[in-house]
């Protein structure tokens, strides 16, 4: 860990300004990802602005949906009565992410901004464009990674986004509310928050420097059943090999791309009357096939079809 | 030298009048551990505030350091010392022993510019805080001259050679018998590199007093660590006081010392103040040993009635060039099933990876994954129940040596297990049982693991307050050694547990070999028992010779020890009263154990049977445990609770072996891909649903005076194979490549059209 300075933000705008004005500064909330990465010398901020104690930790009813504060921790969000009532897919996604200890610290905004679990990103002796732009992607020709992206990857990066929560939020059509350094707030859809890697995999979101996620806005729950299913190496906790969130006619996939992946082809096919298996096939036909991801593509397709099928038997009260 | 016949007579342990032997006594040190007040090596109170060390490690697998620049690190805040091979203190050359009786040779650190494996220590920083030490270490610039190395096991199988000094075992004529057998199995099974992932990483706190060093370190073998440090620093071993009071898991990985021990001691000497140093979680994967990958070919030839006529188990494994070690994965098969024509042996590839070494039942743990699945495959070909096949091949005597078994209850383990587990529910035809989206199946496997007794000593003293203190250079790696030694001492002396203290993990105490090879309880316990018997003699002499004792005049042969009293019929007094009056300074005696001269006349093992029920997700190939049950026969059981914990812990590791645990080498870099516990998956609570184990009544009077045997490694032996067989029974997909991850299971299901 490199030496750094720390300040506890008095209010949101001063926090945003402090980070915007200092290229070495980062926000700190739960710290479950950032502090680990600092210890490993992967993240090297020179200044931390603690936003974890700003008053953004509530849930309020807004227009038939919910507004969730960015600093609300994952375990509280998963246990919130209104969230349990309206968004079972979000609850399932939250509790299938990380461990109980981590969920007690990790925040809603921080969860969205967590970084990839690609093993080569974590090993500082290996090239990684995300960690050291221009150094190359070790994963591309590396030991087969169960978490590798199969949609929207580039020669520069095949890492996937590890969040479960973000997959459910994408299926639910949620958006984030941010505070920008000018003091203005803006809203953008969760599915537009993260970027595909392209040539700049180190740039992971469309947030401006210093822009702070203050809330997540959940629209009213869609008609139809909600399902979240995650495939992982063990039952207790593990980063997903693949996941799928279904909310009515909307479907998102996890651990398959640099961002939570809105399965538009599945949605279109379902709307056109395709069976779940046919719809899944329509999406997987667009995957980036390589000589080593055929199994993952098959797995995601089966998983998506099964989850859509299951969603037909579920109804939100 | 003693004979096993000397052990057959009744004694206080086998008579168990106090009822402490076998009782599920709570952990002796449990309260300290759960309240966080048991100091581990990194947490002990040093005489003054320790400086903190941090190791920088190599980024290549083989080559040399062409240039190293430590100037920025030296100038970094709080830094007290930076060493590389250019300025590290002189140490004895690697592998040398100034004292031929040293149990471990010199193991120098930063001794040259050579890199022998990825993750090797290349520099050492000591600073005022951990953060400053680590930050400085990250500023060290190193240029390497890399050389090609042998790092890909599968690609290097053609380089496998006979391990030095070993021969294959041929009995009868395997090739002819195999060729003539009407039913055969010929399959190869693969198991990967595994890591110990002990909860406590290796760590040392060291300080000097003149020319003597005190080290608190996390190690399974007290003398090995003491001698390794003394040899490396070229000082007499009695100038090294090594303590290892509490250990957060060993699993074989702490059977030797590592660079933390050497560097903390050297750093403390150079700085004239205590220094402590721990491996990070990431550093543990390359900086310490691992279980090597094993490729095993099993060939079985059987008659239609199931009798094996041809039996071959051959293992290929690997080790580091600089640390020859053979994972003896075929050895267990020499004692398990009858077959007149046999071939067993090992081949070894020497590679440029970190050192391979013992881990959780070395040999049996990976080895049984092959044969116990091959037996399942053979049973299906023969149309026999897998238990029945094993019973039909149950030998009367050891199938390799012809020696009699000391005790062998393998068949009883399988039969009892089948009855209690509900084996009759198993559909012998695979892929038939569905529960919603799950395919459900059951599997079983046998367990066998050797039993050993090594030389050991123990000291025991009683003080005027009646407290009896056992002292032994033994370790407790989380297994319950403190507890069973307290039970043995209390039962031998006829006192309640509260009257006994156990002190161990100290090189000043009478030596015991430590924890490993499931020999700890029998070895240390037998020495503790012998010390207790010697204390009984000393106290008897004291009482019958003391005119003020009600026992005065004897007869000594009628003296009993019960309920804290020493007595002859109705004449008695408390031990405390006797000692306070007749020996107020206390009484100290020692005892010892050594293997019996005729112990090798018997084939002596522990046995068990594993039963597993799994669900396989028909969509994803995920395997989830539903039930696991084990029946074990391992001599007299000292503590029902800690013994059960030992074997169920082993079974849980078996689940890890079957389903998740693996490390893969990236051949471009010669390094393991998993370097943390988010990537290296071990079973946690939710992965184990319904798990239980029982022990059969048994006493093995050929084992030691107490008739006990080891249980530390038995639980993992065969456990993973039972899970693999259950996956086959569930799906009809036979996988032979561990671990059986969702992707491998799905691949098999897709190939089978599922």
Distance between CA atoms of residues B572 and B563, nearest Å? 11
Evaluate whether A249 touches A222 at the Cβ level (below 8 Å).
Answer: yes
Residue B697 to chain A, least CA–CA distance (Å) = 35
pLDDT, position B1: 63
For residue B143, what are its two tokens?
Answer: 């240029």
Cβ within 8 Å, pair A119-B437:
no
> What residues in B contact A236, CB-CB < 8 Å?
683-687
Query: Which of B59, B665, B746 has the CB atom closest to A295's CB atom?
Result: B746
Strand order in the sheet with B121-127: B79-83, B121-127, B51-57, B275-278, B203-209, B212-217, B240-243
Nearest to A76 by CA among A114, A103, A52, A96: A103
Cβ within 8 Å, pair A1-B683:
no
Chain B residue closest in CA terms to A277? B619
> What residues in B contact A119, CB-CB < 8 Å?
673-675, 679
pLDDT, position B151: 97
Cβ within 8 Å, pair B684-A142:
no
Cβ within 8 Å, pair B135-A295:
no
Instruction: Work out the mean pLDDT of chain B and round it to a whole number.
Output: 97
Interface test with A, best of B279, B679, B682 (most A CBs within 10 A): B679
Residue B15: CB atoms within 10 A of its CB come to 10
Evaluate whether B124 touches B141 at the Cβ level (below 8 Å).
Answer: no
Question: CB under 8 Å to B575, separation ≥6 — which residues?
Answer: B462, B466, B468, B493, B495, B499, B539, B561, B564, B565, B566
Entry field: residues in chain A? 317
Taking only the tens place, the pLDDT of each residue in B376-407 is 999 999 999 999 999 999 999 999 999 999 99
Taking only the tens place, the pLDDT of each residue in B34-81 is 999 999 999 999 999 999 999 999 999 999 999 999 999 999 999 999
Cβ within 8 Å, pair B134-A125:
no
Residue A98 to chain B, least CA–CA distance (Å) = 9
Q: How many CB pairs under 8 A join A and B?
A: 91
Residue B95 to chain A, least CA–CA distance (Å) = 30
DSSP element (H, E) containing A25: strand A25-28
Chain A residue closest in CA terms to B61? A125
Residue A10: CB atoms within 10 A of its CB come to 11
> What residues in B contact A298, CB-CB < 8 Å?
746, 750
Query: Is residue A315 pLDDT above 70, yes or no?
Result: no
Whether residue A264 lies within 8 A of chain B, CB to CB, comes out as no
CB pairs under 8 A, 24+ apart, for B683-687?
A: B683/A234, B683/A236, B683/B652, B683/B653, B683/B655, B683/B656, B683/B659, B684/A234, B684/A236, B684/A237, B685/A236, B686/A234, B686/A235, B686/A236, B686/A237, B687/A234, B687/A235, B687/A236, B687/B624, B687/B625, B687/B655, B687/B659, B687/B660
Residue B141 to chain A, least CA–CA distance (Å) = 12
Is the ipTM here above 0.90? yes
Interface test with B, best of A45, A101, A235 (most B CBs within 10 A): A235
Distance between CA atoms of residues A166 and A261, nearest Å? 9
Whether residue A294 lies within 8 A of chain B, CB to CB, comes out as no
Cβ within 8 Å, pair B681-A39:
no
Query: Is residue B600 pLDDT above 60, yes or no?
Result: yes
Residue B673 to chain A, least CA–CA distance (Å) = 6
Instruction: Give the pLDDT mean for B238-260.
Output: 97
Cβ within 8 Å, pair A236-B746:
no
pLDDT, position A247: 97
Question: CB under 8 Å to B141, separation ≥6 — which residues?
Answer: B67, B68, B69, B72
Query: Is residue A57 pLDDT above 90, yes or no?
Result: no
Cβ within 8 Å, pair A125-B669:
yes
Whether residue A137 lies within 8 A of chain B, CB to CB, comes out as no
pLDDT, position A317: 45
Chain B residue closest in CA terms to A147? B679
Distance between CA atoms of residues A83 and B617, nearest Å? 28
pLDDT, position A1: 77
Cα–Cα–Cα angle for A189, A191, A196, nearest 5°? 130
Query: Is residue A75 pLDDT above 80, yes or no?
Result: yes
Cβ within 8 Å, pair A146-B741:
yes
Cβ within 8 Å, pair B673-A143:
yes
Evaluate whether B298 touches B187 at the Cβ level (below 8 Å).
Answer: yes
Cβ within 8 Å, pair A236-B683:
yes
> What residues in B contact A238, CB-CB < 8 Å?
678, 681
The percent of residues above 90 in pLDDT, for chain A, comes to 93
* DSSP letters for B621-674: --EEEEEEEEEEE-BB-SBHHHHHHHHHHHHHHHHHHHHT--B-EETTTTEES-
Interface test with A, best of B669, B740, B744 (most A CBs within 10 A): B669
Residue A67 to chain B, least CA–CA distance (Å) = 32
Residue A317 to chain B, least CA–CA distance (Å) = 24
Taking only the tens place, the pLDDT of each residue in B334-368 is 999 999 999 999 999 999 999 999 999 999 999 99
Taking only the tens place, the pLDDT of each residue in A133-164 is 999 999 999 987 788 999 999 999 999 999 99
Query: Which of A41, A142, A234 has the CB atom closest to B660's CB atom?
Result: A234
Cβ within 8 Å, pair B622-A232:
yes
> What residues in B contact A40, CB-CB < 8 Å?
282
Whether residue A313 lies within 8 A of chain B, CB to CB, comes out as no
Sign of CA dihedral B76, B78, B83, B88: positive
Whether residue B49 lies within 8 A of chain A, CB to CB, comes out as no
Cβ within 8 Å, pair B669-A1:
no
Whether residue A127 lies within 8 A of chain B, CB to CB, comes out as no
Query: Which of B135, B673, B685 has the CB atom closest to A3's CB atom?
Result: B135
> What residues in A contact B115, CB-CB < 8 Å?
none
What amino acid positions of B are annotated as catalytic residues?
713
The percent of residues above 90 in pLDDT, for chain B, comes to 99
Taking only the tens place, the pLDDT of each residue in B490-500 is 999 999 999 99
Evaluate whether A164 touches A252 at the Cβ level (below 8 Å).
Answer: no
pLDDT, position A316: 56
Cβ within 8 Å, pair A119-B750:
no
> What residues in B contact A303, CB-CB < 8 Å?
619-620
Write down the pTM of the prediction: 0.97
> What residues in A contact B685, CB-CB < 8 Å?
236
Taking only the tens place, the pLDDT of each residue in B495-525 is 999 999 999 999 999 999 999 999 999 999 9
Query: Which of B619, B664, B669 has the CB atom closest to A306's CB atom?
Result: B619
Taking only the tens place, the pLDDT of each residue in B436-451 is 999 999 999 999 999 9
Residue A221 to chain B, least CA–CA distance (Å) = 27
Query: Is residue B121 pLDDT above 60, yes or no?
Result: yes
Whether residue A95 lies within 8 A of chain B, CB to CB, comes out as no
């Amino acid at each position: 860990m490199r030496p750094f300075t720390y300040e506890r933000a008095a209010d949101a705008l001063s926090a945003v300004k402090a980070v915007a004005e200092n290229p070495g500064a980062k926000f700190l909330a739960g710290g479950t990802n950032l502090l680990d990465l600092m210890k490993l010398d992967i993240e090297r901020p020179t200044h931390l602005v603690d936003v974890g104690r700003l008053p953004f930790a509530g849930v309020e009813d807004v227009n038939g949906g919910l507004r969730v504060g960015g600093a609300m921790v994952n375990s509280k969000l998963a246990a919130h009565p209104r969230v349990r009532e309206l968004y079972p897919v979000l609850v399932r996604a939250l509790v299938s992410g990380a461990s109980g200890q981590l969920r007690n610290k990790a925040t809603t905004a921080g969860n969205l901004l967590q970084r990839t679990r690609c093993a080569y990103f974590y090993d500082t002796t290996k090239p990684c464009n995300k960690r050291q732009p221009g150094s190359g992607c070790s994963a591309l020709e590396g030991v087969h990674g169960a978490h590798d992206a199969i949609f929207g990857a580039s020669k520069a990066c095949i890492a996937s986004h590890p969040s479960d929560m973000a997959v459910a939020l994408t299926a639910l059509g949620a958006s984030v509310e941010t505070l920008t350094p000018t003091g203005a707030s803006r809203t953008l859809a969760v599915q537009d928050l993260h970027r595909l890697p392209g040539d700049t995999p180190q740039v992971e979101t469309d947030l401006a420097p210093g822009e702070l996620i203050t809330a997540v806005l959940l629209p009213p729950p869609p008609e139809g059943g909600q399902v979240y299913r995650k495939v992982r190496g063990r039952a207790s906790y593990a980063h997903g090999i693949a996941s799928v969130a279904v909310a009515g006619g909307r479907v998102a996939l996890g651990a398959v791309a640099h961002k939570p992946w809105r399965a538009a082809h599945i949605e279109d096919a379902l709307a056109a009357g395709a069976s779940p298996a046919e719809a899944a096939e329509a999406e997987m036909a667009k995957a980036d096939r390589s000589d080593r991801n055929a199994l993952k593509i098959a797995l995601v397709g089966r998983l998506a079809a099964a989850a859509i099928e299951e969603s037909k038997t579920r109804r939100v009260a | 030298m003693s004979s096993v016949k000397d052990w057959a007579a009744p004694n206080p342990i086998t008579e168990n009048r106090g009822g402490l032997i076998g009782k599920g006594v709570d952990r002796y040190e449990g309260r300290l551990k759960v309240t966080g007040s048991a100091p581990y090596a990194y947490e002990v109170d040093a005489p003054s505030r320790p400086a903190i060390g941090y190791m920088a490690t190599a980024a290549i697998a083989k080559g040399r350091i062409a240039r190293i620049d430590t100037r920025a690190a030296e100038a970094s805040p709080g830094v007290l010392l930076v060493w590389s091979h250019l300025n590290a203190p002189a140490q004895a050359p690697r592998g040398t022993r100034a004292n031929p009786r040293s149990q471990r040779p010199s193991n120098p650190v930063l001794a040259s510019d050579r890199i022998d494996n990825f993750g090797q220590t290349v520099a050492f920083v000591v600073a005022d805080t951990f953060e400053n030490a680590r930050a400085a270490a990250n500023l060290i610039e190193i240029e390497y001259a890399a050389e090609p190395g042998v790092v890909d096991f599968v690609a290097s199988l053609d380089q496998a050679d006979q391990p030095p000094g070993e021969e294959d075992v041929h009995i009868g004529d395997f090739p002819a018998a195999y060729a003539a057998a009407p039913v055969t199995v010929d399959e190869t099974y693969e198991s990967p590199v595994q890591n110990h992932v002990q909860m406590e990483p290796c760590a040392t706190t060291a300080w000097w007093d003149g020319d003597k060093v005190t080290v608190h370190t996390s190690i399974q073998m007290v003398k090995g660590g003491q001698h390794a440090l003394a040899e490396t620093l070229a000082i007499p071993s009695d100038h090294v006081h090594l303590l290892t009071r509490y250990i957060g898991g060993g699993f074989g990985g702490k059977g030797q010392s590592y660079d933390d021990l050497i560097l903390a001691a050297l750093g403390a000497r150079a700085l004239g103040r205590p220094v402590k140093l721990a491996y990070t979680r990431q550093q543990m994967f390359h900086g310490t040993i691992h279980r090597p990958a094993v490729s095993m070919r099993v060939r079985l030839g059987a008659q239609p009635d199931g009798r094996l006529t041809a039996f071959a188990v051959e293992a290929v494994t690997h080790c580091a060039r600089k640390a020859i070690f053979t994972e003896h994965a075929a050895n267990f098969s020499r004692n398990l099933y009858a077959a007149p024509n046999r071939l067993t042996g090992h081949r070894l590839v020497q590679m440029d990876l970190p050192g391979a070494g013992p881990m959780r039942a070395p040999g049996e743990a990976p080895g049984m994954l092959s044969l116990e699945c091959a037996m399942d495959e053979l049973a299906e070909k023969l149309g026999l129940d897998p238990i029945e096949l094993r019973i039909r091949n149950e030998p009367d005597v050891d199938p390799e040596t012809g020696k009699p078994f000391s005790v062998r209850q393998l068949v009883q383990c399988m039969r009892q297990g089948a009855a209690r587990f509900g084996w009759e529910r198993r559909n012998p035809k695979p892929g038939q049982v569905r529960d919603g989206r799950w395919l459900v199946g059951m599997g079983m496997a046998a367990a066998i693991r050797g039993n050993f007794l090594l030389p050991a000593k123990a000291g025991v003293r009683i003080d005027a307050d009646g407290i009896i203190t056992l002292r032994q250079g033994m370790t407790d790696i989380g297994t319950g050694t403190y507890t069973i030694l307290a039970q043995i001492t209390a039962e031998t002396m006829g006192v309640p547990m509260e009257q006994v203290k156990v002190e161990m993990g100290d090189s000043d105490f009478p030596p015991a070999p430590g924890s490993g090879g499931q020999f700890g309880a029998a070895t240390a316990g037998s020495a503790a028992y012998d010390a207790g018997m010697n204390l009984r003699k000393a106290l008897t002499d004291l009482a019958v010779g003391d005119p003020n004792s009600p026992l005065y005049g004897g007869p000594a042969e009628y003296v009993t020890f019960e309920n804290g009293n020493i007595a002859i019929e109705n004449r008695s007094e408390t031990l405390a009263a006797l000692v306070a009056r007749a020996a107020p300074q206390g009484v100290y005696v020692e005892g010892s154990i050594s293997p019996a001269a005729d112990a090798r006349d018997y084939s002596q093992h522990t046995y068990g049977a594993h039963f597993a029920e799994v669900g396989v997700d028909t969509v994803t190939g995920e395997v989830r445990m539903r039930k696991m049950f084990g029946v074990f026969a391992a001599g007299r059981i000292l503590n029902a609770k800690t013994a059960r914990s030992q074997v169920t812990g082993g079974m849980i590791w078996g689940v890890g072996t079957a389903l998740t645990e693996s490390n893969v080498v990236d051949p471009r870099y010669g390094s393991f891909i998993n370097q943390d516990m988010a990537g290296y998956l071990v079973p946690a609570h939710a992965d184990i649903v319904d798990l239980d184990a029982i022990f059969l009544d048994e006493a093995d009077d050929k084992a030691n005076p107490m008739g006990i045997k080891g249980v530390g490694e038995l639980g993992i032996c065969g456990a993973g194979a039972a899970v693999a067989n259950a996956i086959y029974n569930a799906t009809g997909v036979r996988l032979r490549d561990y671990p059986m991850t969702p992707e491998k299971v799905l691949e098999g299901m897709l190939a089978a059209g599922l």
